[in-house]
C-alpha cells in the first residue's frame, strides 16, 4: 500500500463522506475550525493541490454540460452558507473560478425584497435553480430564512419552525428531478471573524466589503450557532446532505469544497453524448463543401 | 526607447483602436484571418501572454464590481459574433475564465422561441443585460436578427432592414445608461471552419458540438459575409464600435479579446469605493466585541 504523499488528499474519493454531518443533534463547538480533514500538507501545498484540480474539474464539468445539451436532466446545486467573512465569495472565486464560466450559474441572495417576500421564501430560490448540465452555486440561500429570520425574529416562531419541513420537501423534489444538492457550512470561529473584519478595516481596497452591521451581528454569534445547529440537524437528509467545512484556513476551505465538487461530478459520471447523426455521412457531406 | 520584447504586445494600450473597424464600407475579404495584429510572438508565447493578463484583469474586474455595489452604474457588455466554430465559447472559456465568475453574466442566445419573437427581437436581449459592476458577455446576440434572419429570409427584407437603425438606437441608449459596449466579430476563413468541423467529426468527445445543419449553412458563406459586412458598416458607432478579431489562430483570438477587455477596464478606471463609515469608530466597536 502506497504511503500517503505529503500535500495530497488522504482519501480524496471519500472527502464528502468524511465532512458530512452525521445524523442527529449537531454541536458546532465540537468541530475544530482550524482542522484540515482529508489533507495533510502545508498552506502552499494546499494551494498547489487546488490548482491541480482545475483540468480534471473542467473536463468533468464539460461532460455534464454536454449531456445537458443533449437532453439529460442532471445538474448540481452547491449551497454555500456561513457567517460573514467565512469565505463564500472566496470559494467561488478560487474554486468555481477553475471551471468554465459558461457552465456555472452563480446567485448571491441578499435580503428579500417586499415583492419576493409576498411570493413565499422559496419562490426566488426556484427562479435561480440551475438548468440541466449546469453547476448552480448559491451564495446564501433559503437557509437564511431559518437563520437570520430566526435569530433576528424577522418572522414569528411558528413560521420559521414550519420552514425546516418545507425546505426538506423542496430539496427532495429537487433531488427527484435530477439536481444533486450539496450544502456546505463554512465554519469559522468568532475570533477568526474578528481578525478578518479587522483586516478589512485596515485595507482601503476592502472597505467596500465592510458593513457596520457586521459588528452588530457578532453580538448574536451564539444564537446564530444555535440556528445553524438546528438547520444542520433538521435539514440533513440523504438526498441533500449538510457538510461542515472547517474554514479558518482559507486554502483548506477552497480546496475542500472544490474537491467535493469534483468528487460529486465523478460520482455522477456524465458521459460524452453519442453522435445523433451518421459520422461517415457527415464527413462526406463536409468534404463536398 | 525599449526594444519590443518578443511575445509581447506591440502596443497593448492601443489594441482596441488597432482592431476597430474603420467607418465606411467593409470588405471582409481584405482582412487576413491568420494575422496577429498587435502581437509578435509564437503560439506558446501567446498562451503565456494570455495567462499573464489574469491577475491584472481580476483586479480591475473587482474594482468595477466594487463600485457597482456602492451605487455606480457602469458595466461592460462584450458581444461575440462569428460563424460556427469561430470560437465564441473558446474566448469565454479561456479569456473570461481568467476572471471571477461572480462578476460575469454570460448569455448564450439560441433561436428565439415563439414567445420571444412576439415581444420583438430586442426584448430578450434587454432581459440579459449586465447589472452595474458586471461584465456581460453575449455568445451571439441581437445581431443574429440581421444575420441569419437576413441570409435565411426568416423575416421580410423591410423588417431586417429596419433593424440596423433599431440596433443603433438601442446601443446608444445602453451607452448613455453606463454600459460600455464592445462588439467583436471573430473572423475565420471558410477553410479554417472546414478543418474545425472535420476535427469535431474525428473526435467522439466533440460530437455533441456538431450539428449537421452547420454543413448546410456553409453553402451560404458568401451571403453571411455580406450580412456581416452590412452589420459592421451600418452598426459601427462611436458608442458601440465593431472590432474584427482575426480568429484562425485560436491563441491570438483568445489573447486579443481578453487584452481588449483589460484595456477597456483600464480606460473606465474604476476606483475602490471610499468607506461610507468612520474607520476608527468601527475599529473600536469591533475591538469591543
What single-letter DSSP state applies at residue B275?
A: P
SS (H, E, C) B93-158: HHCHHHCCHHHEEEEECCCCCHHHHHCCCCHHHHHCCCCCCCEEEEECCHHHHHCHHHHCCCCCHH
A6 in a structural domain:
no
Query: What are the backbone angles phi and psi of residue B107, rounded to the nearest 5°?
Result: -130, 130
Interface test with B, best of A78, A99, A102 (most B CBs within 10 A): A102
Quote the number of domains for chain B. 1
A65 in a structural domain:
yes
pLDDT at A12 (0 to 100): 47
CB contact under 8 A, A101 and B89: no
- For residues A237 and A280, what is the distance between their CA atoms, to the nearest angstrom? 48
Show the cell assigned to A179: 439536481
Angle at the Cα of A68 from the Cα atoms of B51 and B249, rounded to 5 degrees: 35
Instruction: With H, G, I as helix, E, B as strand and everything else as coil, classify residue B72.
Output: coil
Shortest CA gap B110–chain A (Å): 12
Query: Within 10 A of B84 (CB to CB), how many other CB atoms are there?
Result: 19
Please compute the mean of the pLDDT values over residues B11-17 and round it to a whole number.
76
B172 in a structural domain:
yes
A3 in a structural domain:
no
Among candidates A265, A250, A267, which has minimal Cα distance to A58?
A265
Res B4 pLDDT > 60:
no
Among candidates B96, B93, B17, which has minimal Cα distance to B61?
B96
How many residues comprise chain A?
Answer: 289
Between B102, B209, B286, which is nearest A92 by CB? B102
- For residues B247 and B252, what is the distance between their CA atoms, to the nearest angstrom? 7
Between B100, B108, B212, which is nearest A97 by CB? B100
Among candidates A225, A160, A237, A141, which has minimal Cα distance to A189?
A225
Answer whether A104's CB lies under 8 Å from A131's CB: no
Q: State the first-to-last Cα distance of chain B, in angstroms, to the nearest integer.
A: 57
- For residues B22 and B255, what is the distance between their CA atoms, to the nearest angstrom? 22
Chain B residues near residue A274 by CB distance under 8 angstroms:
207
Give the residue on B whose Cα is nearest the Cα of A69. Answer: B208
User: What tens digit of pLDDT does each residue of B179-190 get?
Assistant: 999 999 999 999
Show the cell assigned to A272: 460524452
Q: State the residue for C-alpha cell 422559496.
A: A122
A74 in a structural domain:
yes
Give the ipTM of the model, two decimals please: 0.92
pLDDT-based confidence at residue B3 (cuts at 50, 70, 90): very low
- For residues B207 and A283, what is the distance between their CA atoms, to the nearest angstrom? 12
B34: domain CATH number?
3.40.50.300
Between A139, A205, A285, which is nearest B215 by CB? A285
Show the cell assigned to A155: 418572522
Q: State the residue for C-alpha cell 509578435.
A: B40
Strands across the sheet with A179-187, in order? Answer: A104-108, A135-139, A75-82, A179-187, A242-246
Between B212, B282, B289, which is nearest A218 by CB? B289
A283 in a structural domain:
yes
CB contact under 8 A, A108 and B96: no
Among candidates A40, A120, A56, which has minimal Cα distance to A263?
A56
- For residues A69 and A53, what is the distance between their CA atoms, to the nearest angstrom? 24
User: What tens digit of pLDDT does each residue of A84-140 get?
Assistant: 999 999 999 999 999 999 999 999 999 999 999 999 999 999 999 999 999 999 999
A2 in a structural domain:
no
Among candidates A254, A216, A189, A243, which has minimal Cα distance to A48?
A254
pLDDT-based confidence at residue B219 (cuts at 50, 70, 90): very high
Answer whether A164's CB lies under 8 Å from A113's CB: no
Q: State the residue for C-alpha cell 440533513.
A: A236
Domain span holding position B108: 12-287
Top pLDDT among A4 and A178 is at A178
Give the residue on A whose Cα is nearest the Cα of B270. Answer: A205
CB contact under 8 A, A106 and B108: no
- For residues A231 and A223, what is the distance between their CA atoms, to the nearest angstrom? 12
Show the cell assigned to A175: 433531488
B6 in a structural domain:
no
Show the cell assigned to B144: 443574429
pLDDT at A7 (0 to 100): 44
Answer whether A112's CB lies under 8 Å from A174's CB: no
Res A10 pLDDT > 60:
no
Give the residue on A whose Cα is nearest the Cα of B190. Answer: A289
Q: Which residues of B touch A (CB under 8 A)?
A: 66-67, 69-70, 89, 92-93, 96-97, 99-102, 104, 106, 108, 139, 194, 197-198, 201, 204-205, 207-210, 212, 215, 218-219, 272-275, 277, 279, 282-283, 285-286, 289
- For residues A166 and A287, what is the distance between their CA atoms, to the nearest angstrom? 57
pLDDT at A116 (0 to 100): 96
For residue B96, what are the contacts with CB-CB under 8 A and spacing of at least 6?
A: A101, B104, B106, B135, B137, B258, B261
Query: What are the backbone angles phi and psi of residue B112, rounded to the nearest 5°?
Result: -65, 145
Chain B residues near residue A204 by CB distance under 8 angstroms:
272, 275
Shortest CA gap B100–chain A (Å): 5
Between B101, B275, B279, which is nearest A101 by CB? B101
User: What tens digit of pLDDT does each residue of A243-271 get?
Assistant: 999 999 999 999 999 999 999 999 999 99
Amino acid at each position: 500500500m502506497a504511503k500517503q504523499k505529503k500535500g495530497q488528499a488522504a482519501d480524496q474519493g471519500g472527502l464528502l463522506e468524511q465532512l458530512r454531518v452525521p445524523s442527529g443533534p449537531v454541536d458546532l463547538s465540537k468541530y475544530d475550525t482550524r482542522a484540515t480533514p482529508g489533507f495533510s500538507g502545508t498552506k502552499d501545498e494546499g494551494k498547489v493541490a487546488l490548482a491541480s484540480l482545475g483540468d480534471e474539474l473542467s473536463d468533468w464539468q464539460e461532460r455534464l454540460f454536454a449531456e445537458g445539451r443533449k437532453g439529460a436532466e442532471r445538474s448540481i446545486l452547491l449551497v454555500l452558507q456561513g457567517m460573514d467573512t467565512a469565505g463564500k465569495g472566496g470559494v467561488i472565486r478560487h474554486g468555481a473560478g477553475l471551471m468554465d464560466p459558461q457552465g456555472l450559474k452563480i446567485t448571491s441572495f441578499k435580503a428579500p425584497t417586499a415583492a419576493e417576500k409576498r411570493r413565499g421564501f422559496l419562490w426566488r430560490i426556484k427562479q435561480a435553480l440551475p438548468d440541466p448540465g449546469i453547476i448552480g452555486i448559491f451564495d446564501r440561500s433559503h437557509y437564511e430564512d431559518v437563520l437570520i429570520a430566526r435569530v433576528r425574529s424577522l418572522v414569528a416562531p411558528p413560521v420559521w419552525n414550519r420552514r425546516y419541513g418545507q425546505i426538506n420537501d423542496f430539496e427532495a423534489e429537487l433531488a427527484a428531478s435530477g439536481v444533486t444538492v450539496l450544502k456546505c457550512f463554512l465554519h469559522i470561529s468568532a475570533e477568526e471573524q474578528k481578525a478578518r473584519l479587522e483586516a478589512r478595516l485596515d485595507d482601503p481596497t476592502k472597505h467596500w466589503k465592510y458593513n457596520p452591521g457586521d459588528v452588530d451581528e457578532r453580538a448574536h454569534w451564539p444564537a446564530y450557532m444555535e440556528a445553524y445547529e438546528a438547520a444542520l440537524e433538521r435539514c440533513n437528509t440523504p438526498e441533500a446532505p449538510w457538510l461542515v467545512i472547517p474554514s479558518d484556513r482559507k486554502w483548506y476551505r477552497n480546496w475542500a469544497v472544490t474537491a467535493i465538487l469534483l468528487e460529486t461530478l465523478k460520482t455522477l459520471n456524465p458521459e460524452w453524448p453519442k453522435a445523433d447523426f451518421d459520422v461517415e455521412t457527415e464527413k462526406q457531406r463536409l468534404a463536398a463543401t
